[in-house]
Amino acid sequence: MTEYTRVTVQGEGRKADLVLPDDEPVAAMLPDVLSLLDDGQARSARPVALVTTVGDQLDPSLTLAEQEVAHGTILRVVRVDQAPPPPEVADVTDVAADAVQSRPDAWRPVWGVVAGAVLAGVLGFLAAGFGARDLAVSASALLGVCAALAVVAALLARRRHTETAVVAVVAAVGVAVVAARTLTSGAPGETALVAFGLVGLLVAVVAAAGFGDAGLALGGATAAALVGAVATMHALGAEPTHTAAVVAVAGCLLVGLLPGVAMSVSGLNGLDDRVVEGRRVSRAEAHRAVATTHRALTWSTVAAAAVTGACAWVLAGGEDPWSRLLAVAVAGVLLLRTRIFPLAPQRLALLAAGATPLVALLAELGRTDPARALAVAAVAGVGIALLVGARPREHVVARARRLGNVVELVAVVALVPLVLAHLGVFADLVGTF
């Protein structure tokens, strides 16, 4: 709907109070305004301009709204060659202050929260480290501290003390890292994986119970579930590559289910049901549901890709040829599955996870056969360059998409026999019969 601005236009001999549309360029309205004023300057060959009382000249190519012309503004019609100079700002201090506030890197309250949260995380890490090293504090006690901090953060978040809740969560993260190191006896890879799972659990609890953020909660729950599966199999005495095989396959299957899960968690599917039932859905509700869906899908995809990529890296380093074939299949599924994800963080996470086992296999080949590894790296580099720079036609893209669907289906189907072969099921069957 068109908005209007009331202005007073002063000509050579007459003035008029006009109500002009905000969405029309000044140049389009100026002939009618001059004709209304019966201004002599309108018949002059020299161009004219509209000038405010302080000397600001309106840009003829812009609208009144774009130039922030207020109601009641007095505009004078003058020739361009007789227009007064624009006003000069004498208060340099105000200009400098406004320039600072308009910069994207200006200090804002959020940076104070970030600094405080980082400091709290460091202090939590140091305090937990001192307790575990010098006071013989057990891992279960550290986990209890994490749980207490998570409860405090959730309560603070429910009372709208968002900044304090964030600081409490990050402090719990610092304690969780030490707890993970204690649980895994300090092994770097295992510590990082367990810490990732504990952090995911903390985030899921606080996001769901405190902030009511379904997207962040789904991401944390995804990380906690996959790491929990790794920890459970390790506790049952499974070999590292066997654990990695099972969790990597589970992660690949989970990545395919995440879009549907994200839509359910965000309530987007519920909106569709309401529309089918004939109930109205506001545009604001739909926008919120879509935004929550994308946030949930992003966080959960990043979490699943991180754990699945780590497990695929373990498989690539195994001595069993079945584990390496399984690593290649997992990489293929992750790389091809990027096509169904719309946002850059989601695709980049899956690309990184899919490339991890392939890079590990190339590094292993470099230790045994450097010449062949160099050739493979060169061919892969040329192929990537051609793929990135290609601008194929639509029918070629359609054929490539169909081919990708077939290859992805084959890779997914191959996951099950490969993981069974790696676990030794086929060998046991052959020995039995």
Do 58 and 122 belong together in one domain? no
Q: Is residue 381 part of a domain?
A: no
Q: Which two tokens stand for residue 214?
A: 């379904």
As a three-state string, the secondary structure of the chain is CCCEEEEEEECCCCEEEEEEECCCEHHHHHHHHHHHHCCHHHHCCCCEEEEECCCCECCCCCECCCCCCCCCEEEEEEEHHHCCCCCCCCCHHHHHHHHHHHCCCCCCHHHHHHHHHHHHHHHHHHHHHHHHHHCCCCHHHHHHHHHHHHHHHHHHHHCCCHHHHHHHHHHHHHHHHHHHHHHCCCCHHHHHHHHHHHHHHHHHHHHHHHHCCHHHHHHHHHHHHHHHHHHHHHHCCCCHHHHHHHHHHHHHHHHHHHHHHHHHHHCHHHHHHHHHCCCCCCHHHHHHHHHHHHHHHHHHHHHHHHHHHHHHHHHHCCCCHHHHHHHHHHHHHHHHHHHHCCCHHHHHHHHHHHHHHHHHHHHHHHHHCHHHHHHHHHHHHHHHHHHHHCCCCHHHHHHHHHHHHHHHHHHHHHHHHHHHHHCCHHHHHHHHC
Q: Which of 316, 339, 363 is the last residue of a domain?
A: 363
Does 421 map to a domain?
no
Residues 76 and 200 in one domain: no
- Are 72 and 115 part of one and the same domain? no
Q: Does residue 18 form part of some domain? A: yes
Q: Tell me, yes or no, whether 407 lies in a domain.
A: no
Residue 386 lies in a domain: no
Same domain? 201 vs 304? yes
Residues 67 and 193 in one domain: no
333, 363, 393 - which closes a domain: 363
pLDDT of residue 45: 58
Q: Are residues 147 and 27 in the same domain?
A: no
Q: Has residue 391 been placed in a domain? A: no
pLDDT of residue 114: 93
Q: Are residues 17 and 141 in the same domain?
A: no
pLDDT computed for residue 430 by the predictor: 65
Residues 144 and 253 in one domain: yes
Low-confidence stretches of the chain (pLDDT < 50) are 42-43
Residue 14 belongs to what domain range? 4-82
Instruction: State how many domains the chain has.
Output: 2
Q: Does any domain span residue 393?
A: no
pLDDT digits (tens, 9 = 90+) for 362-393: 998 888 888 888 998 899 889 888 888 888 88
CATH code of residue 24: 3.10.20.90
Residue 91 belongs to some domain of the structure = no
The verdict on 27 and 140 lying in the same domain is no
Confidence (pTM):
0.73
